[in-house]
Every structure is written in C-alpha cells, then in structure tokens.
Amino acid sequence: MAAAAIFAAVVYPLRATEVDLFSVLDRLTQAPRLDHGDVQRIVGVRLTQVPNENSLFDKYSGDGATFTDAVIGLVTFVEPKIELGAMAGPALLVKIRGGCITRPAVEKHYGRLKISVIQTVPEPPRGRATIPEPANVASYFKTGAWGQLDFLFDNGGSGCLQRVDLDRPLSAARQNFRTR
C-alpha cells in the first residue's frame, strides 16, 4: 500500500491550487532527474519548446500556475543536450506575478540564505538567463546536493519574492540522458 502511495505521488502532479510554492520547489529539488516532462507534472504548467540559438540546450516556456501563496507568471526551463556536449545541468526560472512571499518566510523553510547581489539599476541577462535583471532587487541563494536555488526579492518596497531560479548539477542532466 505504501509503494502505491509513493508511485502516485511521483507519477501524478500535485494540484497547483492545493499546495504552496515551497512544496513545489521541494519536489523539484528532490526529483532524481529533471526534464521538461517532470517540470510540467510537478509545477502543473504546460511547457512548449521555444526557439533557441544554442544547440546544446532545449528551451521550454509556460505560464499560469496558482499556488496557495503565489501566482506564477512565467516558467522557463532549459534542458541540456548531454549527447551534444552540454556542460551544465538543467535550469528552471519561475517568475512570480502574484502573492507575497517574503525573505523571512523563505528562510523559515530553507534556513539562512546567503546574499549574492543587491542591484539598484536594471542589467541585461547574464549566463543562461533570458530576462533582464530588474532594478531595486536583492538576490539570495541556498545550495545543496540537488543544486542551487536563487531567490530574487523586491528591495524597493514590498520585499516580495519576484523570481526563483533552480540550477541542477550536471549529474542530474546525465541521469536524464541515461534514462531516455
């Protein structure tokens, strides 16, 4: 009976309106592999492949998930092509457009976060990012064996979480490649 419950939890998605963002992030970080199908099932959004000039990655995008504490405006997932020599693991960007999750709430769940940047002027996208960095934000991160979570908060007033990025290690991408 317990095995059936575990199977159901892995195969069937959480109902987005019944869970909080932390539950979704926990499922994403605990997934042994992470591809666009896994992201669709766990986050509860339909991802469609978007044009991408980098042949080492496939890029997917979707929107419109509502959780008990946040409304997701945009989900972008970058899936490496190990067979072509990708040297980075999968990456997920979740842009939040509704609800207000504060840094103390994130730290209550994940423990103390490390600050990575405080930005007062907009900057162009960096690395694999596709969205410019907004002004008046503070970015904090948490690392684990599962990779790194970056949390971007409004630093100009509300203090609300605006975006979460999950970078998985290359080993997660290799696990995906082995299971195809």
Distance CA 104, CA 60 (A): 31
Q: For residue 132, give the DSSP letter.
A: P
Mean pLDDT is lowest, of 19-23, 117-121, 163-167, for: 117-121
What share of the chain in percent tops pLDDT 90? 49
Tell whether the model's pLDDT for residue 163 goes beyond 90: yes
Distance CA 60, CA 117 (A): 27
* 60-109 residue pLDDT tens: 999 989 999 999 999 999 998 866 666 788 899 999 999 999 999 999 99
| 51 residue type, one letter | P
Query: With the CA atoms of 178, 171, 24 and 116 taken in that order, what torsion angle do they form, in degrees rounded to the nearest 10?
Result: -160
Distance CA 50, CA 74 (A): 13
pLDDT for the residue numbered 111: 95
